[in-house]
């Protein structure tokens, strides 16, 4: 059966990665979380003092971009790929609220986007991939056979992220998480280079009031119909 490319875009905490992982598993496709790549570059920038300081942060980071090596390595025990930054497993560090608070300003940098989009295009060359992010259907794979655009109310999304962070042992306040979600929505949707928007031909899913199971089943059926048509 011919393999397709599936692009999953949408606002933060809409469950893109949960859905993309489920789809990839069901179809036997590769899953790529592009947010993890932007988060890893952000962690690198934070560790090197390029975020929040007085220096010319952006140009210093751009100069060091060729030295940033990003790799996904599949973890058999966990059943998903983990993010490695210059050989170090940073899967936990990149998911903190601290990184979330800085990632949008790093993801706005044109050169950062170029580097990561190039890598993402290479990963998808063979098709058989489910990639999630903000610009997958618009920039990375504009010819993807299936494009999904996910939304949900900011409050629902903040609550989901809040619970996730608490489960991971981070001490956070709901109000801070909501503020982060709304701020990231604004920056991600209004930035100059590849802003978050619904791609041409994308199917929109608002899962404010939809369970994960129902959502997955509906999208999986859709994907199977698209794959069937490729024969």
Binding site for ligand DC (CB under 6 A): 12, 34-35, 38-39, 103-104, 107, 133-135, 184, 188
d(CA 112, CA 138): 17
* Surface-to-core class of residue 154, CB atoms within 10 Å of its CB (0-12 exposed, 13-18 middle, 19+ buried): middle
The end-to-end CA distance of the chain, in Å, is 7
Decide whether 75 or 221 has the Cβ nearer to ligand DC.
75
Q: How far is the CB of 74 from ligand DC (least distance, A)?
A: 19
Rg of the chain over CA atoms, in angstroms?
17
Q: Shortest gap between Cβ of 34 and ligand DC (angstroms)?
A: 4
Minimum distance, C-beta of residue 126 to ligand DC, in the bound complex (Å): 20
Of 163 and 225, which has the nearer Cβ to ligand DC?
163
- Nearest approach, Cβ of residue 53 and ligand DC (Å): 21
Which CB atom, from 121 or from 229, has the smaller least distance to ligand DC? Answer: 121
74 or 186: whose CB is closer to ligand DC? 186
Please count the other Cβ atoms lying within 10 Å of the Cβ belonging to residue 189: 12
Helix (H) or strand (E) holding 177: helix 174-190
- How many residues belong to the chain? 231
CA–CA gap between residue 99 and residue 44 (Å, rounded) = 10
Nearer to ligand DC, 17 or 57 (CB): 17
Long-range Cβ pairs for the range 173-178 (8 Å, 24+): 176/97, 177/97, 178/154
Nearer to ligand DC, 5 or 34 (CB): 34
Minimum CB distance to ligand DC, residue 25 (Å): 19
Angle at 224 between CA 220 and CA 226, to 5 degrees: 115
Least distance (Å) between residue 37 CB and ligand DC: 7
> How, if at all, do strands 80-85 and 88-89 pair?
antiparallel
């Amino acid at each position: 059966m011919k393999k397709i490319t599936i692009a999953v875009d949408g606002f933060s905490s809409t469950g893109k990665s949960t859905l993309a992982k489920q789809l990839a598993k069901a179809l036997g496709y590769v899953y790529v979380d592009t947010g993890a790549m932007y988060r890893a570059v952000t962690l690198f920038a934070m560790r090197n003092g390029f975020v929040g300081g007085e220096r010319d942060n952006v140009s210093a980071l751009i100069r060091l971009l060729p030295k940033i090596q990003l790799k996904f390595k599949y973890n058999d025990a966990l059943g998903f790929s983990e993010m490695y930054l210059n050989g170090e497993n940073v899967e936990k560090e990149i998911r903190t609220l601290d990184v979330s608070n800085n990632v949008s300003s790093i993801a706005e940098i044109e050169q950062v986007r170029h580097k990561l989009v190039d890598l993402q295009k290479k990963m998808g060359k063979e098709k058989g991939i489910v990639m999630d992010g903000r610009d997958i259907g618009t920039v990375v794979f504009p010819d993807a056979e299936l494009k999904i655009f996910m939304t949900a109310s900011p409050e629902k999304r903040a609550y989901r992220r809040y619970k996730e962070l608490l489960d991971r042992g981070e001490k956070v306040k709901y109000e801070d998480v909501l503020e982060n979600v709304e701020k990231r929505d604004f920056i991600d949707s209004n930035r100059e280079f590849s802003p978050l928007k619904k791609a041409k031909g994308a199917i929109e899913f608002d899962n404010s009031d939809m369970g994960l199971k129902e959502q997955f089943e509906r999208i999986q059926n859709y994907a199977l119909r698209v794959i069937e048509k490729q024969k």
